[in-house]
């Protein structure tokens, strides 16, 4: 990630090395969620803040709009949204338990 390499406050970053277990409501099975990035950021007070970062299209962060009938596309969008919510709930808890912060970035934050 270019931003991490070019930003002096980023002390270290890792890609897809943090694995969080979660139960997916679509199949009720345990899965492993590989979070996109783990960043170590030097805060203004000199402390180090750790962020778990997921990068997703904005459309996957909001519930899909019902098109008036249950198309295959709509069903897939709902399943993706539900799966992402389960992942992010597990990641938030995982981060909080360790004193980290979990965030989801979309094109709206990145551009």
* 22-33 per-position pLDDT tens digit: 999 999 999 999
- In which domain, by residue range, is 100 found? 2-110
pLDDT of 1 over the 80 cut = no
* 48-88 per-position pLDDT tens digit: 999 999 999 999 999 999 999 999 999 999 999 999 999 99
> What's the number of domains the chain is made of?
1
Q: What percent of the chain is modeled with pLDDT above 90? A: 89
CA distance 66 to 19: 33
Q: Could you tell me if residue 9 is left (phi over 0), alpha (psi between -120 and 50 degrees) or otherwise beta?
A: alpha
Q: Which of 99, 94, 105, 104 is nearest to 18 (CA)?
A: 94
Confidence tier at 110 by pLDDT (50, 70, 90): confident
Q: How far apart are the first and last CA of the chain?
A: 14
CA distance 111 to 109: 6
Q: What is the pLDDT of residue 76?
A: 94
State the DSSP code for 24. Answer: E
Q: What is the pLDDT of residue 4?
A: 87
Q: How far is CA 100 from the centre of its chain?
A: 13
């Amino acid at each position: 990630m270019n931003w991490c390499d070019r930003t002096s406050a980023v002390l270290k970053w890792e890609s897809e090395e943090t694995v969080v277990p979660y139960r997916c409501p679509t199949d009720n099975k345990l899965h492993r969620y590989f979070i996109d990035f783990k960043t170590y950021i030097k805060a203004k007070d000199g402390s180090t803040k750790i962020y778990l970062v997921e990068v997703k299209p904005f459309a996957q962060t909001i519930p899909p709009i019902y098109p008036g009938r249950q198309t295959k596309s709509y069903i897939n969008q709902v399943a993706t949204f539900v799966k992402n919510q389960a992942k992010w709930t597990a990641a938030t808890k995982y981060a909080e338990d360790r004193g980290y912060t979990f965030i989801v970035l979309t094109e709206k934050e990145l551009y």
